[in-house]
Each structure stands twice: as C-alpha cells, then as structure tokens.
Amino acid sequence: MSRIFERAGLAEEHARTQAEILIWANLRGIDSHGVLRIPRYLEWLREGRMNPTPKIKVTSETAATVIVDGDRAPGVLSMTFAMNRAIEKARAAGIGLVLVSHTTHSGPVGYYTQMAVRANMAGVAIMASRPNMAYFGAKAAGVATNPIAIAVPGGPDGSVMLDMASSELAIGKIKDALARGVALPESGALTKDGVPTTDPAQAAIPMPLGGAKGSGLSLMFEALTSLMLGRPLLEPALEGRERGHSQNGLAIAVNINAFTDAENYREQMSALGRALKGLPPIEYGKEILLPGESENRKLDARRLTGIPLPNIVWSQLSAAAEALEVPMPARA
C-alpha cells in the first residue's frame, strides 16, 4: 500500500508511515479508519487539501509545550511528529503537550497514544474538525465527530486504551456500513435534511454520543485545540466564512515516573483490570472486557487470517492502484 502513496507524491518514509497506520487500524478491526480511507486521501492529495510534501515545523515551544504547523500534511505525519515531541518534552519536564494546526485527517488516534505507552508513558490524543455532527437539540451539523484516545501501560495486553469518537457513529463507521451493505443503528445519524435514518447511503449527519454529553465533549475539544491555537474551525464554518477539509490536533504524553514508579503503576493498572474482569456479568457466560481488549483480540485473529475487505473496498483500492500504475497483490 505504501507504493500507492509514493506514486501520489509522498516521500518513501512518509508513504510507509501512512500505510502502516492504516493497516494498524484494519488489523485491530477498526476498518472505518483503515485502507477504506485510501481513495479519499488520494482525492485530497490531488485536490491540494492534503500536502504530499509538507514542511512540518515547530512555531513555538516552552519547557513542556510545543506548537506545530502541520502545513496540510497527511494527519498521520503531523500527529506522529507531535507525539514524538510530546514524549521528548515529557522525559525532561514530566509532561509534554503539543498542539498541531493546519493538519488533515489523522486516521486512528489510538495509534499515537500507543507511541506514548511504548515509551512507558500515558498518552492522550484529540482531534478537532469542521462541523459534521449534530449539536444536541439541533437537526443540523454544529460540532464535529471529534475523537479522543487515552492509553496507559498495564492490563492483560500490556496497555489499556480508550479510543472513541464523540458521536454515536464515526463518519468512517457510516462509510464502512455502506461498503458492507448493512443498516446503521437506530438514532445514529440524520439525513442532510435532518431526518433520522438507518440507511448509510442517506446518512449525512451523525448524532452526538449520549446526546448533550457527546456534543459537549466535541465542543470542549474545539476549545482545547483550535481556540488554543487561535485557529477556530467551528464558528467560521457555521457562519459560512470557511469551508473545506482541515483539522487541528492535540498530543499529550505523561511521564509516569515523574509522579510514581512506572512499574508499580503498570502492576496496579493490571490489578484493577483483573478486578473489573472478575465482576459478575449481566449476561451469563459473557466476558467483561477492558477498553481496547476487543481490538487486541481481532489483532491476534487477523494476524493469522488476514484482513477481510468488502468487495466494494477492494474494487476502489484496485481502481486507485491501477490509476497510479501500482500492481495490486492477488486477492486471497
């Protein structure tokens, strides 16, 4: 897959990073943020919404903070840059907080928090985008399906990771449902006219997770990212002054050893996980899972059996590869 991005103009290393993170998502069953995204990314690269040769740069920094200009880079490049800088700051200052402006779709935000875990730290990643999700009480888009991921060391799989959108359904989940030909859950999305629908072909506006809680979370993510950067995304779009694709991001790394012994923390997190998994289940025989545990189960399975792709996704990838004169592997 990296060859596709190279042919689209990315440097070899950047193309490899882009492909690696999309496949990371698919292997964990996060198909909505995997290779399904490639045709849209290629479209954005052709249109100039994504910059294939970005000059990502630091514009400001303190002992514990950094501000980064992503130069419309593919989001995976600017967010890996950001988390690496956050980890560097956390090693010296105990915590590192990096804000990223002028970036684009970042793929699975959980990936960046796992970078922190591999450095024996806790990680947080948040993205902010233009309005695409209903605000609670409204039948039009007012906030975005802004995601958050938090990962910490410990647990049965080496880390516990929460990775979620602030919507009932991420945009990618709607695209995935359309590709697989399945209906959406009730109360998950609205049509462009604000009518509830379960048809992924008609779904245009996701609903907020938990009603006011989801839209409130999304609003606060805009406040913690875009407004901190002085580069708002929601209000200009709602007032009709700005359109197009753009995102801002936040990466945080916390050096656990600055607060407590990291190995003791890991052991305590694992003990907490065991205690939670030992609770009596509502449904007899059902296992209680920690955040991220189901994704790790899929990772184990897909490493053996491969990544299943709906026919429409395979066709779209094949067409994209053919247009760029990149040979596709034979389908298993």
CATH number of the domain bearing residue 173: 3.30.60.50
Whether 64 and 86 share a structural domain: yes
Whether 173 and 320 share a structural domain: no
pLDDT at 244: 65
Whether 236 and 174 share a structural domain: no
Q: Which of 285, 308, 324 is the last residue of a domain?
A: 285
Gap between the Cα atoms of 183 and 201, Å rounded: 9
Strand bridging mode 159-165 / 147-153? antiparallel
* Beta carbons of 112 and 149 less than 8 angstroms apart: yes
Whether 2 and 79 share a structural domain: no
Total domains in the fold of the chain: 3
Report which DSSP code applies to 170.
-
Domain that holds residue 7: 1-52+292-332
Whether 245 and 111 share a structural domain: yes
pLDDT at 288: 96
Put simply, whether the predicted model's pTM sits higher than 0.85 gets the answer: yes
Secondary structure class of 204 (helix, strand, coil): coil
pLDDT at 242: 75
pLDDT at 44: 96
Whether 220 and 201 share a structural domain: no
Gap between the Cα atoms of 19 and 71, Å rounded: 20
Whether 324 and 198 share a structural domain: no
Whether 11 and 58 share a structural domain: no
Residues of the chain with pLDDT under 50: none
Whether 160 and 239 share a structural domain: yes
Which CATH number fits the domain that encloses residue 234? Answer: 3.30.1370.60
